[in-house]
Each structure stands twice: as structure tokens, then as C-alpha cells.
């Protein structure tokens, strides 16, 4: 398991904002919160029904016709990519604030995933935001490698 140098210098608020990865992390956090909250609000009547019935065993992978609305509400809101995107953005901003560069493969992987989603289902606003987040993370990794000074030890 790699050891992260905990003595690396944390970035100040001025330098933190100059890093493209910081903007990618913030955009991921905002996008994750937005998607989860708006999707839940769009299905608030179904969520009220789920709360009335109880949470346990409400959603299955093979829902019956009468449970399809509950399954769709779950997979569209908290079961979708919104929560992991929020967590990813939080991790990225946490790393950047501590002076640890985000790996470039993370941004490239996210951008490739966004392109795949766009090719299969069309390039809508959400797909373009995912692509932007991936590009910002990749650009942040690229600029961190080009910055003068030693890279943090792993």
C-alpha cells in the first residue's frame, strides 16, 4: 500500500483555486448534489409512498408492474451516479487542499465514461458536465506534473 507524504504542504486558498482539478472537484460535488436532489424532488410522490410503506425491501432488480415506479425513483435519484459523483468531488477537493495531486488516469477515465454515455444515449447536459469534470481533472494532473518543485511522495 503506498504511503502518502503527510508532510506535503497544504495549498493556500489562492493557489487552490488555480488548480483545474479543484474546479473539477467542485463541479462534481455540485453536480452530484444537484442530480440527487432534483431527481428525488421530481419523484417526491413516489418517495412519499416509499416512506409510508417503509424502506426495507422496497426496490428489487426485477420489480413487478406495481413496484416499477419505486424502482425507477430509486435508480433515478439515490441509486444513480449522483451520490458517487458527490463523493468523488469531495475526495478530489480534499486531496487538492492538502497539496496531493489527483492522478491523471482518474480524469481520463471519467472523460472516457462520459464519451461512452454520450455515444450510447446522446450528449445531453449531464454528459457534457461529466466530460468537463474529467477534462478538468486530467488538466489538473497535467499542470501538477509540469509545476516546479518536487512531487509529493506516495
For residue 9, tell me if it sits in a domain. Answer: no
For residue 48, tell me if it sits in a domain. Answer: yes
For residue 34, tell me if it sits in a domain. Answer: yes
> Could you give the CA distance from residue 54 to residue 77 in angstroms, rounded to a whole number?
17
For residue 1, tell me if it sits in a domain. Answer: no
How many domains is the chain built from?
1
Residue 7 DSSP one-character state:
T
For residue 3, tell me if it sits in a domain. Answer: no
As a whole number, mean pLDDT of residues 51-79 equals 87
**Residue 117 phi, psi dihedral angles, 5° rounding:** -60, -45
pTM: 0.79
Q: Which grid cell sits at 16?
A: 487552490
* pLDDT at residue 2, rounded to an integer: 53
For residue 4, tell me if it sits in a domain. Answer: no
* pLDDT at residue 6, rounded to an integer: 47
* pLDDT tens digits for range 13-59: 566 778 899 999 999 999 999 999 999 999 999 999 888 888 787 88
Domain housing 110: 16-146
For residue 111, tell me if it sits in a domain. Answer: yes
Give 82: exposed, middle or buried? Use CB within 10 Å, 0-12, 13-18, 19+.
buried
For residue 2, tell me if it sits in a domain. Answer: no
Amino acid at each position: 500500500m503506498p504511503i502518502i507524504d503527510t508532510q506535503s504542504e497544504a495549498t493556500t486558498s489562492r493557489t487552490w483555486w488555480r488548480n483545474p482539478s479543484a474546479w473539477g472537484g467542485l463541479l462534481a460535488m455540485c453536480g452530484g448534489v444537484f442530480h440527487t436532489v432534483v431527481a428525488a424532488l421530481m419523484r417526491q410522490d413516489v418517495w412519499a409512498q416509499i416512506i409510508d410503506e417503509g424502506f426495507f425491501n422496497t426496490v428489487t432488480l426485477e420489480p413487478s408492474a406495481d413496484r416499477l415506479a419505486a424502482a425507477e425513483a430509486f435508480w433515478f435519484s439515490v441509486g444513480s451516479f449522483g451520490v458517487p459523483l458527490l463523493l468523488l468531488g469531495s475526495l478530489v477537493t480534499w486531496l487538492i487542499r492538502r497539496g496531493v495531486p489527483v492522478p491523471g488516469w482518474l480524469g481520463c477515465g471519467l472523460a472516457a465514461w462520459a464519451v461512452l454515455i454520450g455515444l450510447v444515449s446522446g450528449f445531453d447536459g449531464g454528459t457534457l458536465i461529466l466530460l468537463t469534470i474529467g477534462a478538468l481533472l486530467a488538466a489538473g494532473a497535467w499542470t501538477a506534473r509540469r509545476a516546479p518543485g518536487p512531487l509529493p511522495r506516495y
